[in-house]
Homo-oligomer: A and B are copies of this chain.
């Protein structure tokens, strides 16, 4: 304490290598992140709240505090940089979605998930774009081009189903959980690819060919990015013994390779998001089984943690940014216009989602003969509801489109950003807090799928054991029973199961010998504990 007098003034001191404002901003942000985690954990049992809502509300509160402290001049502590989002926050979230993906269920319901995630998102994109195009001129927003309307469609198609997933139980309703989860991640990737496709096209001359071009670009991006993601992963780790004694190297290489796949895809002008998503799936399917036990635990939890922090960070930021004075001033819209635009967007989201969820669900139901595989109305409702929340991706894409927009009217662009923020806040807080009670009420009498799905599992196992020439005793009585069915009749009766079955066969024959991994062979009783595995 004696030395205080000789110490220089605070400012002199800390500028030695870091600027004070950076340090203050980081302190506040990391402090808020810690609070979010603790408060979110304390509120876990609460039926109205979840982590996203906590982060948003904490962000809003601190935004107000900063606004008061700076005397209504600014709420900016950190400037939202798209680089930050697309380089550091989004890749871990998407990679983790692929990595933690419940692969068994994912591949079992592959076609349904793709229908919802890809086709559904495209339908939603078309409807929202069309709706925005038709309705916005009536409200008085005339300065947006065709590209902006299409971008709005893509921006609003990116759902955030985290909230619903916290309520659904994977054991009680495996089919529903798998569809909601699978659709959520495929949807994010699809809407980002759609957004990219929209941005790359030239809409000065709009005609039928442009629409075809858009579709072509979308499928080109989708397929090549997927292929790249599957090819590009740490197949060096294939060799069981290569890094066997060095967990740190294994983990480092898995992290770096995942990130590298994202960067390479961006470099090749493909969609990094899709690539890193499939890289995550492939890595957890093959590589993950070749590394040491501690590497498995570490990667599983480290990726989940990083993704968790990134998500909390984004919600916190969105909350803080809601009171950005500059943006509200720039938009110059009256409260009436603001409310009108936001309500229109919310209505479009509701309708756009309803249009594809119920129609796709009923179409897939028609193709299925077994009652158990059908998606009943209650489940359809939950799937519809799960996709109403809008989150980080929507905000990021909206900033990307409208913050540096070339359109003459910056007013309308600012209005679009503020309306998106309102939409995200409203859907996350209002829809989000109703989710838990609502789904619990809907689920009350819904125990049928759980039972029927276990029957499915048995059938699947039967097929597997039959074809792998596996001679485990307990399956013998199944074999004699199943042998009578030909592959063709199976194909006709259960198309999804059969696709899954052929994928397994392909995987066991060609993929595993090359890339390693445990594949789909069921764990031998007495083998390493199952809870360690991503099941």
Q: Give me the interface of A with B, judged by CB distance under 8 Å.
A: 2-4, 6-8, 10, 12-14, 16-18, 20, 22-24, 26-27, 30-31, 33-34, 37-38, 40-41, 82-83, 86-87, 196, 199-202, 213, 216-217, 219-220, 236, 242-243, 246-249, 251-253, 255-257, 259-260, 263-264, 266-267, 269, 294-295, 297-298, 300-302, 304-305, 308-309, 400
Contacts and interface: CB of A to CB of B under 8 A. Distances in A.
Main secondary structure of the interface of A (DSSP, over half): helix
Contact of A14 (B33, B249, B269, B305): B269
Contacts of A217: 3, 6-7
A13 B263 contact: no
Contact of A251 (B31, B34, B256, B302): B302
A199 B12 CA distance: 9
Contacts of A252: 37, 305, 308-309
Given A38-B236, A41-B249, A216 B2 contact: yes
Contacts of A37: 249, 252-253, 256
B301 A251 contact: yes
B3 A255 contact: no
B213 A255 contact: no
Query: In this complex, which of A10, A16, A20, A33 has the most chain B Cβ atoms within 10 angstroms of its Cβ?
Result: A16
Contacts of A24: 267
A14 B266 contact: yes
A40 B256 CA distance: 15
A257 B34 contact: yes
Contacts of A308: 248-249, 252
Contacts of A243: 41
Contacts of A6: 213, 216-217
A161 B400 CA distance: 46
A202 B297 CA distance: 52
B247 A301 contact: yes
B253 A27 contact: no
A243 B246 CA distance: 29
A218 B253 CA distance: 40
Contacts of A82: 17
Copies of this protein in the assembly total 2
B305 A23 contact: no
A196 to B, nearest CB: 6
Contacts of A31: 260
B18 A86 contact: yes
Nearest to A252: B305
A327 to B, nearest CB: 19
Query: In this complex, which of A13, A82, A243 has the most chain B Cβ atoms within 10 angstroms of its Cβ?
Result: A13
10 contacts: A2-B216, A3-B217, A6-B213, A6-B216, A8-B202, A10-B269, A22-B83, A27-B263, A40-B249, A256-B309
Given A6-B217, A216-B6, A302-B251, A260 B27 contact: yes
A223 to B, nearest CB: 10
A16 B260 contact: no
A403 B97 CA distance: 43
A29 to B, nearest CB: 9
A269 B24 CA distance: 12
Given A266-B14, A267-B23, A248 B305 contact: yes
Contacts of A269: 7, 10, 13-14
B400 A17 contact: yes
A427 to B, nearest CB: 24
Contacts of A199: 16
B27 A264 contact: yes
B301 A26 contact: no
Contacts of A14: 266-267, 269
B305 A200 contact: no
Given A37-B253, A213-B6, A26 B263 contact: yes
Given A14-B266, A34-B260, A38-B236, 19 more contacts: A3-B219, A6-B216, A7-B220, A7-B269, A8-B200, A10-B269, A16-B196, A17-B86, A22-B83, A23-B263, A30-B256, A34-B256, A34-B257, A37-B252, A248-B304, A252-B308, A294-B297, A294-B301, A301-B302
A83 B18 contact: yes
A221 to B, nearest CB: 9
B248 A301 contact: yes
Contact of A30 (B16, B38, B260): B260
A533 to B, nearest CB: 12
A470 B63 CA distance: 56
